[in-house]
Structure 1
């Protein structure tokens, strides 16, 4: 059984589609001031470097991965977390309370490829404040809401191409305000590398190996056992951030130029809707969004459940790479004031919708989940009826 992997795989077809228009012309339809980087966090550092002063603070939503604040710390800013609501909208009262004269910027997030809920209210709150608005659109490079590209609704914004394409790195910095664009002085890690390197070759080989593991269950299980037997160290957030301070790789640039935005968005929307049909009538789960608005290119299919580990295990048995999201910052994990963010992080499960997924495979997963549920129901022990009620 082939795996429905977390990310699309790199193949010869990725670079040979002559019908593709590329990502850059797509971006140019919506904004003029943008630049490529190796990572979104490095891009954010570069964008803010000429705008902020060490000792100031930046407000970010509590429902975010722990590594997001690394560029702020690097700039000498104090990250402060504001509360979010169940809808992923900012808790405006909490946000307003945390704003002060030393707030340099406020970050909002377009979660899972959808527009930040209630963004207008946040913009209104910030209108009279002397601080910058960062539109964090890491999840959705191709999402357009009512004619506006997500990521371009603040003074500056970022998006991650690596979350969209089978590439080793890649991000975009948007300078949406003329004064911000004028003060940008790109550092050495801006732009694209001028040649292919060893890392590019390594990524191609790893992608080919990943394809083999995805199609050959025997090999995959053997590798999983080998990995389980050896301790694998994961770099801490700061180390990952520092390592990503490089220009976008030449391989990434080639894939970005060969990509077809229309086909990618169509495929992701089709797969998102296939998952929606799969879970529409299933008890114990709740999708985040009731509809899929025109122009939205979802990053994943997110849902909430009170039994996340059970759902992840069931999906893994069906060949789906699903997981909870995200790993919160320790500040948030340890503070009861962020109860909503902590609950969301426990209950949210994300499923792949990328362009490498065949919607027929999602339908097959739906079939297997239903069969398993029916089998479990039939095999469950029946409760005996007390003797006095058997009449």
Structure 2
């Protein structure tokens, strides 16, 4: 079974910082005002407070229904009622439903770039116009892919505020950013933004776990590892497929656990990462899956193509029979566990269907050619 995220390598940790790291990439692609956090939910919470300072009487927020249940917690903590709009099977927003949900008490409308693929520019523009009609802000949620751009502009910077989760793209313990793209909000104090000023035991443990697996990357072990993965995947054919919704933690507890600063190790890695290499690797692996999945029966790609500028988080596909994934059952993961109010509600039939049928396949930069070949063989078996 392939990891869904890359492992940190000794080479990255012990290399010198360069001027072309992630922060330089952000600034070169339109992100001039941003702050770091441990996790995206906390960044979002600070952004909510910034907007509430300007609109203290707001009492609701308009969100896509196709979201993980935990993302709602910062809004609940701020006393805002979540209102959910629908999407289609290509994850495009229902603009008519957004307009129906808006009223004078709406603080903001959130739109999401799923799996690193940008929403259409015309849909972003339409959402901004609808929000403006009601005096509401927009939140650009780019949690899935910190390095994706649209027409050269960083995703996360198309709203009044925006968020991104760095740890979902890079091999770091944690890390997120809040973008303030509205001039009227840019001078606000951010109470929760913080980066640790020193390395901690948790950083050293993270490195230890990552480096301990480095031996498996050596050529002498690669063939043996590939064989073990093949055998392991075949043995899972007769096992039941466990949906991630079957085992859930309390969303409030998860949210509370994220209220920590960004790791010093995370900042260290950001300064030593070449974003262009990361993007190229992820796009290449995405295309490998795309060529493979389009030739398989019972599996349908979510997106027609890989958008220029996208740095994909995963390759998402809709599976006709999730319980019959066969050798892919250990690699393909269903997404997401929906908000509780959305589950089972016929209003959100598409979202409920996708939460069981949409599965993600790994494309991260830690997957080399040999590993991708093994995964493709499993898919074709």
- Picking from 70, 73, 83, the partner of 2:73 is 70
Report how far residue 19 of structure 1 moved: 8.2
TM-score between the two structures when normalised by the length of structure 2: 0.87
1:156-305 matches, cutoff 5 A:
156-182=161-187, 184-187=188-191, 189-208=192-211, 217=228, 235-305=249-319
Partner of 1:39: 39
Query: Which whole-Å CA distance do the structure 1 matches of 2:203 and 2:265 have between them?
Result: 6
Q: Which runs of 5+ in 2 are unaligned?
A: 233-246
Query: Which whole-Å CA distance do the structure 2 matches of 1:19 and 1:368 have between them?
Result: 38
Report how far residue 119 of structure 1 moved: 2.0
1:113-124 matches, cutoff 5 A:
113-117=116-120, 118-124=123-129
Instruction: Tell me which structure has the larger Cα radius of gyration.
Output: 1
Report how far residue 55 of structure 1 moved: 6.1
Query: Which whole-Å CA distance do the structure 2 matches of 1:145 and 1:137 have between them?
Result: 12
Partner of 2:25: 26
Bigger mean CA deviation after superposition, 361-370 or 343-352: 361-370
Q: Which runs of 5+ in 1 are unaligned?
A: 222-232, 373-391
Kindly indicate whether the alpha-carbon contact (under 8 Å) linking 2:72 and 2:339 is maintained by their aligned counterparts in 1.
Answer: no
* Partner SS for 2:342: helix
- Picking from 339, 345, 350, the partner of 2:355 is 345
Partner of 2:343: 333
Partner of 1:357: 367
Kindly indicate whether the alpha-carbon contact (under 8 Å) linking 1:36 and 1:172 is maintained by their aligned counterparts in 2.
Answer: yes
Kindly indicate whether the alpha-carbon contact (under 8 Å) linking 2:90 and 2:303 is maintained by their aligned counterparts in 1.
Answer: no
Query: Which whole-Å CA distance do the structure 2 matches of 1:368 and 1:47 have between them?
Result: 43
CA spacing shift, 1:362–1:83, aligned 2, 3 Å: same
Report how far residue 16 of structure 1 moved: 3.4
Partner of 1:387: none
Query: Which whole-Å CA distance do the structure 1 matches of 2:33 and 2:87 have between them?
Result: 30
Partner of 1:107: 110
CA deviation map 1:129-185 (0-9, x unaligned): 211100000011111111211110000000000101111110010000111112x21
The answer to whether 1:10 aligns with 2:8 is yes
CA deviation map 1:88-134 (0-9, x unaligned): 11111211111111111110000000112422222222232211100
Partner of 1:366: 376
CA spacing shift, 1:236–1:350, aligned 2, 3 Å: same
Report how far residue 358 of structure 1 moved: 1.2
CA spacing shift, 1:127–1:166, aligned 2, 3 Å: same
Partner of 2:235: none
Kindly indicate whether the alpha-carbon contact (under 8 Å) linking 2:58 and 2:107 is maintained by their aligned counterparts in 1.
Answer: no
1:88-107 matches, cutoff 5 A:
88-107=91-110
Aligned residues: 354
- Picking from 325, 328, 331, the partner of 1:315 is 328
TM-score between the two structures when normalised by the length of structure 1: 0.84
Kindly indicate whether the alpha-carbon contact (under 8 Å) linking 2:10 and 2:211 is maintained by their aligned counterparts in 1.
Answer: no
Bigger mean CA deviation after superposition, 281-290 or 360-369: 360-369
